[in-house]
Structure 1
Amino acid sequence: MMEPVFHERQRLELCAVHALNNLLQKPEITQQRAEEICRGLSPNTMINPHRSLLGTGNYDVNVIMVALQTLDYAAVWWDKRKSLESLVLSEIFGFILNIPSPISLGFLSLPITRKHWITVRQINGVYYNLDSKLKAPAKLGGPTELKQFLQDCISRGSCEVLLVVRKDVEEARLWINAEERAS
């Protein structure tokens, strides 16, 4: 029997926390842990630049990277000029994307966007979009559908892609094919 897909839903501005937990497929990172990371990144500051002023989340990439490092993972910035065909998917644990997200007030969509963290991960042989703003995980399919989804996000502009890999995979650059590693 297949395990159900873990999917944390959006609360406050905690999309970075939700993205990490959806990646890990369990509630590993709490808002309190994210706040501790923020304090560690900027000790002795009145206003922490790694989160929202209101303390409701909106954590930046540094918080995500430190959280992953404490769990023996690394985040590798994807160079969007490269072909997604050069990725070695079997070595990539998952993807965290920072995408533009429309702001709405109830049913009213505003003409502005904010950045939003989402996770894409393979579970039981299928890639899922685990965006915390979705009501449920969205099944993408196999490697072809994953690459199409990533390309669609990248081509819309203002999107960053982090490859999440084990630390040893990062050090040996095993997440990219041998031809690219050699260059």
Structure 2
Amino acid sequence: MEGANCEIYHEKQRWELCALHTLNNVLQDKEAFTKKDLDEICINLSPDKFINPHRSFLGLGNYDVNVIMAALQSKGLSCVWFDKRRDVNFLDLSNIKGFIINNQYSLGLGFVKLPVKRNHWFGIREINGVYYNLDSKFSTPSKIGNKSEFINFLQEQLKGGDRELLLIVNPSVEQESRWWKEH
């Protein structure tokens, strides 16, 4: 990868497994989670349900935020749902291990939009002082840049009403709200 002095792990999209790819990409560990791991989390979250509400009906993925949060907890990490009405300039980036964005979009056939919403998860992580978009729909990681370029990127991403931001932090950072800088 141009400009990078280290190997960046990056899984590409297959099926509806963007949550799986996002977790592995943000954690930079190809063995962090498997589809089987996430399916087991779904079952644990809703053990008595014939149709599991935390993944697609066909079991091909499309995992919800509850699965992502439980998966991160299993690795000793916490997940903070960022209130996008807040100013991202006050994020304490030094205490945040990674970022996950959920982008909701409408399915369409040509110019016709269907009344069906789909979710796509993608991760962002700082590696050696540079922020990278690790979206599994990309063939390779996309360099965002330094802290100020990353903050600009986040501001643009969160302008869309169909986007949500999750912060990956250590549990103590979550408990003490050290992911946020006071004014």
SS of the residue corresponding to residue 59 of structure 1 reads: coil
Structure 2 counterpart of 1:177, from 147, 164, 181: 181
Contact 2:134 2:142 in 1 (8 A): yes
Equivalents in 1 of 2:113, 2:7: separation in Å?
Answer: 36
Contact 1:103 1:109 in 2 (8 A): no
Partner of residue 20, structure 2: 17
1:139 aligns with 2:143: yes
Deviation (angstroms), 1:100:
2.8
Deviation (angstroms), 1:101:
4.5
Sort the Cα spacing of 1:35 and 1:142 in 2 relative to 1 into closer, same or farther, 3 A.
same
Equivalents in 1 of 2:136, 2:12: separation in Å?
Answer: 4
Structure 2 counterpart of 1:47, from 51, 67, 70: 51
Partner of residue 159, structure 2: 155
SS of the residue corresponding to residue 102 of structure 2 reads: strand
Structure 1 counterpart of 2:66, from 62, 69, 73: 62
Deviation (angstroms), 1:103:
4.9
Deviation (angstroms), 1:109:
7.7
When structure 1 is superposed on structure 2, of 77-86 and 108-117 the one drifting more is 108-117
Partner of residue 169, structure 2: 165
Q: Deviations over 1:44-70 (max 9, x none)?
A: 110100000000000000000000001
Sort the Cα spacing of 1:123 and 1:101 in 2 relative to 1 into closer, same or farther, 3 A.
farther
Deviation (angstroms), 1:2:
3.0
Deviation (angstroms), 1:116:
0.3
Q: Deviations over 1:115-174 (max 9, x none)?
A: 100001101110000000011100000111111111111112210000110111111111
**Runs (5+) with no aligned partner, structure 1:** none
Deviation (angstroms), 1:82:
0.7
Equivalents in 2 of 1:148, 1:115: separation in Å?
Answer: 23
Equivalents in 1 of 2:107, 2:140: separation in Å?
Answer: 20
Contact 1:102 1:110 in 2 (8 A): no
SS of the residue corresponding to residue 149 of structure 1 reads: helix
Which amino acid in the other structure matches residue 100 of structure 1?
Q
Which amino acid in the other structure matches residue 167 of structure 1?
P
SS of the residue corresponding to residue 37 of structure 1 reads: helix
Which amino acid in the other structure matches residue 120 of structure 2?
H
Task: Tell me how many residue pairs correspond in the alignment.
Answer: 177
Equivalents in 1 of 2:106, 2:138: separation in Å?
Answer: 13
**Runs (5+) with no aligned partner, structure 2:** none
Which amino acid in the other structure matches residue 177 of structure 1?
K
Partner of residue 79, structure 1: 83
CA RMSD of aligned residues (A): 1.8
